[in-house]
Amino acid sequence: MAGQAGESAFQHALQCNHKWADDTHANDPDFFPTCAKGQAPKILWLGCSDSRAPETTILGMKPGDIFTHRNIANIISPTDLSLLSVVEFSVFHLKVQHIVVCGHTSCGGVAGSLANGKLGGPLDIWLQPMRALREKHAAQLDKMEQGEKMTALSKMNVSAGVDVLRRIPTVIDAMRERGLEVHGAIYNLGSGKLEQVDCGEQDDAAKNRETAFERR
Protein backbone atom coordinates (compact mmCIF):
# COMPACT_ATOMS: atom_id res chain seq x y z
CA MET A 1 0.00 0.00 0.00
CA ALA A 2 1.34 3.43 -0.94
CA GLY A 3 2.37 5.67 1.92
CA GLN A 4 1.47 9.13 0.58
CA ALA A 5 -0.93 10.39 -2.07
CA GLY A 6 0.56 9.94 -5.55
CA GLU A 7 3.21 7.54 -4.30
CA SER A 8 3.20 4.13 -5.98
CA ALA A 9 3.32 0.90 -3.98
CA PHE A 10 6.79 0.23 -5.36
CA GLN A 11 8.13 3.65 -4.40
CA HIS A 12 6.71 3.16 -0.93
CA ALA A 13 8.36 -0.26 -0.74
CA LEU A 14 11.73 1.26 -1.67
CA GLN A 15 11.41 3.86 1.06
CA CYS A 16 10.47 1.19 3.58
CA ASN A 17 13.50 -0.83 2.52
CA HIS A 18 15.87 2.08 3.01
CA LYS A 19 14.44 2.79 6.44
CA TRP A 20 14.72 -0.90 7.38
CA ALA A 21 18.31 -1.04 6.14
CA ASP A 22 19.26 2.11 8.04
CA ASP A 23 17.57 0.94 11.25
CA THR A 24 19.13 -2.52 10.99
CA HIS A 25 22.59 -1.07 10.43
CA ALA A 26 22.16 1.29 13.38
CA ASN A 27 21.17 -1.58 15.69
CA ASP A 28 23.67 -4.12 14.31
CA PRO A 29 26.49 -2.61 12.23
CA ASP A 30 27.93 -6.05 11.44
CA PHE A 31 24.69 -7.56 10.12
CA PHE A 32 24.96 -6.68 6.42
CA PRO A 33 28.75 -7.23 6.14
CA THR A 34 28.24 -10.66 7.70
CA CYS A 35 25.39 -11.49 5.31
CA ALA A 36 27.49 -10.46 2.36
CA LYS A 37 30.15 -13.04 3.23
CA GLY A 38 27.85 -16.05 2.77
CA GLN A 39 24.92 -17.99 4.18
CA ALA A 40 24.50 -20.96 6.47
CA PRO A 41 20.74 -21.43 7.02
CA LYS A 42 19.61 -24.37 9.12
CA ILE A 43 16.10 -24.57 7.60
CA LEU A 44 14.74 -24.99 4.07
CA TRP A 45 11.18 -23.61 3.93
CA LEU A 46 8.86 -24.83 1.18
CA GLY A 47 5.76 -22.68 1.41
CA CYS A 48 2.92 -20.96 -0.42
CA SER A 49 3.41 -17.75 -2.40
CA ASP A 50 0.55 -16.13 -0.47
CA SER A 51 1.56 -12.61 0.58
CA ARG A 52 0.22 -13.22 4.09
CA ALA A 53 2.64 -16.04 4.90
CA PRO A 54 6.24 -14.73 4.64
CA GLU A 55 8.42 -17.30 6.35
CA THR A 56 11.07 -15.05 7.91
CA THR A 57 8.43 -12.76 9.40
CA ILE A 58 6.16 -15.43 10.86
CA LEU A 59 9.13 -17.28 12.34
CA GLY A 60 10.54 -14.11 13.87
CA MET A 61 13.87 -14.66 12.14
CA LYS A 62 16.28 -12.62 10.03
CA PRO A 63 17.63 -12.69 6.48
CA GLY A 64 20.13 -15.54 6.28
CA ASP A 65 18.21 -17.83 8.65
CA ILE A 66 15.84 -19.50 6.17
CA PHE A 67 16.44 -20.84 2.66
CA THR A 68 13.17 -20.58 0.76
CA HIS A 69 11.08 -21.84 -2.12
CA ARG A 70 7.44 -20.78 -2.48
CA ASN A 71 4.79 -21.54 -5.08
CA ILE A 72 1.01 -21.58 -5.48
CA ALA A 73 -0.47 -23.77 -2.70
CA ASN A 74 2.98 -25.11 -1.67
CA ILE A 75 2.66 -28.09 -4.02
CA ILE A 76 5.70 -30.37 -3.95
CA SER A 77 6.04 -32.05 -7.33
CA PRO A 78 8.79 -34.59 -8.18
CA THR A 79 9.04 -33.04 -11.66
CA ASP A 80 9.35 -29.37 -10.59
CA LEU A 81 12.90 -28.50 -11.64
CA SER A 82 12.87 -25.21 -9.76
CA LEU A 83 11.93 -26.90 -6.49
CA LEU A 84 14.34 -29.81 -7.08
CA SER A 85 17.19 -27.33 -7.68
CA VAL A 86 16.39 -25.52 -4.43
CA VAL A 87 16.30 -28.83 -2.53
CA GLU A 88 19.56 -30.02 -4.08
CA PHE A 89 21.41 -26.79 -3.34
CA SER A 90 20.15 -26.40 0.21
CA VAL A 91 20.50 -30.05 1.24
CA PHE A 92 23.70 -31.04 -0.56
CA HIS A 93 25.64 -27.78 -0.55
CA LEU A 94 24.28 -25.71 2.35
CA LYS A 95 23.67 -28.78 4.55
CA VAL A 96 20.39 -27.56 6.01
CA GLN A 97 19.27 -29.56 9.03
CA HIS A 98 15.50 -29.26 8.54
CA ILE A 99 13.05 -29.06 5.64
CA VAL A 100 9.63 -27.59 6.41
CA VAL A 101 6.67 -27.97 4.07
CA CYS A 102 4.19 -25.32 5.19
CA GLY A 103 0.62 -24.75 4.08
CA HIS A 104 -1.80 -22.22 5.56
CA THR A 105 -5.46 -21.65 6.32
CA SER A 106 -7.70 -19.80 3.83
CA CYS A 107 -5.44 -20.79 0.92
CA GLY A 108 -6.73 -19.74 -2.49
CA GLY A 109 -5.16 -22.77 -4.14
CA VAL A 110 -6.98 -25.08 -1.75
CA ALA A 111 -10.26 -23.24 -2.34
CA GLY A 112 -9.76 -23.52 -6.09
CA SER A 113 -9.09 -27.25 -5.80
CA LEU A 114 -12.28 -27.77 -3.81
CA ALA A 115 -14.36 -25.83 -6.36
CA ASN A 116 -15.12 -27.06 -9.86
CA GLY A 117 -14.68 -23.82 -11.75
CA LYS A 118 -11.99 -23.25 -14.36
CA LEU A 119 -9.14 -21.18 -12.93
CA GLY A 120 -7.52 -20.56 -16.30
CA GLY A 121 -4.03 -20.77 -17.75
CA PRO A 122 -1.60 -23.12 -16.02
CA LEU A 123 -3.39 -22.99 -12.67
CA ASP A 124 -5.73 -25.89 -13.44
CA ILE A 125 -2.76 -28.07 -14.39
CA TRP A 126 -0.66 -26.92 -11.43
CA LEU A 127 -3.38 -27.78 -8.92
CA GLN A 128 -4.02 -31.27 -10.30
CA PRO A 129 -2.09 -32.99 -7.46
CA MET A 130 -4.34 -31.28 -4.90
CA ARG A 131 -7.47 -32.18 -6.87
CA ALA A 132 -6.23 -35.76 -6.86
CA LEU A 133 -6.02 -35.58 -3.06
CA ARG A 134 -9.58 -34.26 -3.00
CA GLU A 135 -10.65 -37.23 -5.10
CA LYS A 136 -8.75 -39.74 -2.97
CA HIS A 137 -10.20 -38.44 0.30
CA ALA A 138 -13.64 -37.46 -1.01
CA ALA A 139 -15.57 -39.57 1.50
CA GLN A 140 -13.76 -37.93 4.41
CA LEU A 141 -13.90 -34.37 3.05
CA ASP A 142 -17.57 -34.52 2.09
CA LYS A 143 -18.53 -34.89 5.75
CA MET A 144 -16.91 -31.56 6.68
CA GLU A 145 -17.97 -27.92 6.64
CA GLN A 146 -16.15 -25.70 4.14
CA GLY A 147 -13.64 -24.17 6.58
CA GLU A 148 -12.77 -27.51 8.13
CA LYS A 149 -12.56 -29.06 4.67
CA MET A 150 -10.08 -26.44 3.48
CA THR A 151 -7.82 -26.94 6.49
CA ALA A 152 -8.01 -30.72 6.12
CA LEU A 153 -7.08 -30.62 2.42
CA SER A 154 -4.25 -28.20 3.17
CA LYS A 155 -2.88 -30.67 5.73
CA MET A 156 -3.25 -33.53 3.26
CA ASN A 157 -1.30 -31.51 0.72
CA VAL A 158 1.47 -30.85 3.25
CA SER A 159 1.67 -34.55 4.12
CA ALA A 160 1.80 -35.46 0.42
CA GLY A 161 4.61 -32.93 -0.07
CA VAL A 162 6.63 -34.45 2.75
CA ASP A 163 6.06 -37.85 1.16
CA VAL A 164 7.48 -36.60 -2.16
CA LEU A 165 10.53 -35.09 -0.46
CA ARG A 166 11.33 -38.35 1.31
CA ARG A 167 11.69 -39.96 -2.12
CA ILE A 168 14.30 -37.53 -3.43
CA PRO A 169 17.67 -39.33 -3.37
CA THR A 170 19.60 -36.33 -2.01
CA VAL A 171 17.11 -36.05 0.86
CA ILE A 172 17.27 -39.81 1.54
CA ASP A 173 21.07 -39.64 1.73
CA ALA A 174 21.02 -36.65 4.08
CA MET A 175 18.39 -38.24 6.34
CA ARG A 176 20.45 -41.40 6.64
CA GLU A 177 23.93 -39.90 6.82
CA ARG A 178 23.48 -36.76 8.93
CA GLY A 179 19.97 -36.81 10.39
CA LEU A 180 18.18 -34.34 8.12
CA GLU A 181 14.58 -33.96 9.31
CA VAL A 182 11.54 -33.26 7.14
CA HIS A 183 8.55 -31.58 8.79
CA GLY A 184 5.02 -30.56 7.87
CA ALA A 185 3.28 -27.46 9.23
CA ILE A 186 0.17 -25.32 8.80
CA TYR A 187 0.18 -21.57 9.39
CA ASN A 188 -3.05 -20.18 10.83
CA LEU A 189 -3.70 -16.77 9.29
CA GLY A 190 -6.21 -15.95 12.00
CA SER A 191 -3.87 -16.51 14.94
CA GLY A 192 -0.38 -16.20 13.45
CA LYS A 193 0.53 -19.58 14.95
CA LEU A 194 2.17 -22.59 13.31
CA GLU A 195 0.80 -26.08 13.89
CA GLN A 196 2.90 -29.14 13.17
CA VAL A 197 1.32 -31.70 10.83
CA ASP A 198 1.90 -35.33 11.70
CA CYS A 199 3.80 -36.82 8.76
CA GLY A 200 5.25 -39.84 10.53
CA GLU A 201 5.67 -43.22 8.86
CA GLN A 202 6.19 -46.78 10.05
CA ASP A 203 9.73 -48.15 10.12
CA ASP A 204 8.98 -50.81 7.50
CA ALA A 205 7.48 -48.19 5.18
CA ALA A 206 10.57 -45.99 5.57
CA LYS A 207 12.84 -48.95 4.82
CA ASN A 208 10.85 -49.87 1.69
CA ARG A 209 10.95 -46.25 0.52
CA GLU A 210 14.70 -46.01 0.96
CA THR A 211 15.25 -49.31 -0.83
CA ALA A 212 13.21 -48.17 -3.81
CA PHE A 213 14.55 -44.62 -4.17
CA GLU A 214 18.07 -44.40 -2.71
CA ARG A 215 21.11 -44.06 -4.98
CA ARG A 216 23.98 -46.55 -4.92
Which position among 12, 25, 30, 50 bears the catalytic label? 50
Which position among 102, 107, 134, 199 bears the catalytic label? 107
Is 107 labelled a binding residue?
yes
Is 163 labelled a binding residue?
no
Q: Is 52 a catalytic residue?
A: yes
Which position among 12, 52, 131, 209 bears the catalytic label? 52
What does the DSSP 8-state code read for residue 196? E
Angle CA(79)–CA(73)–CA(85) in degrees, nearest 5? 35
Is 199 labelled a binding residue?
no
Residue 195, H or E segment:
strand 194-197
Q: Is 48 a catalytic residue?
A: yes
Listed in sequence order, the DSSP H helices in the chain are 9-27, 31-37, 55-58, 81-88, 108-114, 123-126, 128-136, 138-141, 146-165, 169-178, 203-213
User: How far is it, in rounded angstroms, from Cα 159 to Cα 197?
Assistant: 7
Is 50 labelled a binding residue?
yes
Q: Is 50 a catalytic residue?
A: yes
Which position among 69, 102, 104, 134 bears the catalytic label? 104
Which position among 48, 102, 134, 166 bears the catalytic label? 48
User: How far is it, in rounded angstroms, from Cα 151 to Cα 16?
Assistant: 34
Enumerate the β-bridge partners of residue 183: 100
Q: Is 35 a catalytic residue?
A: no
How do beta strands 194-197 and 181-187 pair? antiparallel
Point out the annotated binding site: 48, 50, 104, 107
Question: Which parts are annotated binding residues for Zn(2+)?
Answer: 48, 50, 104, 107
Active site residues: 48, 50, 52, 104, 107
